[in-house]
A and B are shown apart, each in its own frame.
Chain A
């Protein structure tokens, strides 16, 4: 039960902190932001790895391996494309906005 409460606490805390931080991101960075958060959501790779290790039967392991590959695609591709996109932004940082 304490475990569940902890999980709910973590969810709420992360949501609130994320909300406060992200509502201050300027519009011009919204596309890189979404691309990066997309890569972050590929954290399911942790679940996929654990599952692959724990699953006993062949079906479970195959699905686990598939999930690992898809999540890695998301993770690596997401961060790489965000980096490439941000490198295109050229200019001096303006104070406003």
Chain B
């Protein structure tokens, strides 16, 4: 095939791919878009097989079959709470593929590569290997196989800095080496890059996971793009760049939604500095929270009070957080929402951008629990509506509804955009306990007189609330 024909074919494939991504506007369009993108990659694959006579077609067919079957099995079995762990794992698999290709290409033709190809190959190798190990750590944390909270080694920043310097030095040495020593240097480089990924990832945890997983999405794309430069394949470069762009956008969105800088997330600086200031506030907040029920005008127990509020409300907004997913309480929350709808109430769901463990995770969790997506509202659309809402039901969300983010300065969440649940007439909180969220900032909502606190396992609490609601309704009918 001549150069121009090849270029035209690549261009067509890229255009199909872009056509697929452009359809990600509505869920239905996204379904078509996903299939369109799959078609583009299938075409790309078919053309490579057609253009180059591949040796050992049976070995390749076997490898394709193994990968495809395992991929399909995993895709069928996984449930939506495990999606972040799976996606992180797949970032890792992409990283491995990129670093293997770079590694073999670098060792195959030592001395023949142009300077740019050499540099790209080394970058593909380092980024691919670091993405692999970083993603494995992230996946382990998300799957709850590793401790979810940040693990800080002694002198963590120093170790991280040292790893970066070593990687750069060894990469330069490897780049200048030709001959048999090259392979040895490249292996050292891979080991260092893997270590770097581990040290980098292990310090990030909890609510910062969406940032990490988005960032790894971007680096996996970048590794693919560099790998494309070394084998001079335009499709690889284009696809890698698109993925890198996507990952960068999601990383940015996640950071701004938490009002955190990328640097702050990756170094843990912001959280650490704020921790000592919080502990005293925390004690005060907890004692306030404990005193409040006695001082409150309602002598009723909180569950009955919450059920009455739900019975009397006309408009209800449910705010789910990751705590709901952890307690496996999504179907209970949605069931309560349905019960309220049957009573003729207007029920909506408000989803904060960082609810869940990856961008958009909560939307998928609620879709799995069969909530119609036209009842799901994003922050900017729902925030003006809280002031006209009778009741907000919070299930396992803390930092994203904490009014301290707008009321107080100098806390880790100050300036973070929140769901303005405090503007609603009444608030019912179904959280595990009164402890602050991941940020460590006590939730001032808990001290608010219009708040009813139902602490405990969300699943049990919601079941109790549903039962109390039907009791309250029949009590009113009886009266």
Q: Which residues of A line the B interface, CB within 8 A?
A: 3-4, 6-7, 10-19, 21-56, 60, 63-94, 96-97
Contact = CB atoms under 8 A, between A and B. Distances in A.
A26 B223 CA distance: 26
A18 to B, nearest CB: 4
Contacts of A26: 25, 378
A97 B225 CA distance: 32
A32 B373 contact: no
17 contacts: A4-B116, A7-B232, A11-B237, A15-B241, A19-B245, A21-B22, A24-B25, A31-B361, A33-B30, A44-B94, A47-B98, A48-B97, A49-B48, A56-B108, A65-B59, A85-B80, A93-B27
Given A14-B14, A55-B104, A70-B67, 17 more contacts: A4-B117, A7-B116, A11-B241, A14-B238, A29-B27, A33-B246, A33-B250, A36-B33, A41-B240, A42-B90, A43-B44, A43-B236, A47-B97, A47-B231, A79-B37, A80-B75, A97-B381
B247 interface: yes
Contacts of A60: 104, 107-108
Given A44-B97, A73-B93, A89-B27, A53 B71 contact: no
Interface of B is mostly: helix
Nearest to B372: A91
Given A38-B87, A88-B364, A21 B21 contact: yes
Contacts of B114: 4
Given A14-B14, A21-B21, A30-B250, A77 B75 contact: yes
B217 A43 contact: no
Interface of B: 14, 17-18, 21-22, 24-28, 30-31, 33-35, 37-38, 41, 44-45, 48-49, 52-56, 59-60, 63-64, 66-68, 70-72, 74-76, 78, 80, 83, 86-87, 90-91, 93-94, 96-98, 100-101, 103-105, 107-108, 114, 116-117, 213-214, 217, 220-221, 223-225, 227-229, 231-250, 253, 351, 353, 358-361, 363-364, 367-368, 370, 372-378, 380-381
Given A4-B116, A38-B220, A86 B25 contact: no
Given A25-B24, A68-B64, A69-B66, A38 B217 contact: yes
B249 A22 contact: yes
Contact of B237 (A10, A42, A96): A10
A93 B93 contact: no
A65 B63 contact: yes
B249 A81 contact: no
Given A10-B238, A34-B250, A71-B93, A40 B243 contact: yes
Contacts of B26: 93
A27 B34 CA distance: 16
Contacts of B86: 77, 81
A68 B250 CA distance: 28
Nearest to A35: B87
Contacts of A82: 34
A31 B246 CA distance: 11
B31 to A, nearest CB: 4
A51 B41 contact: no
A47 B116 contact: no
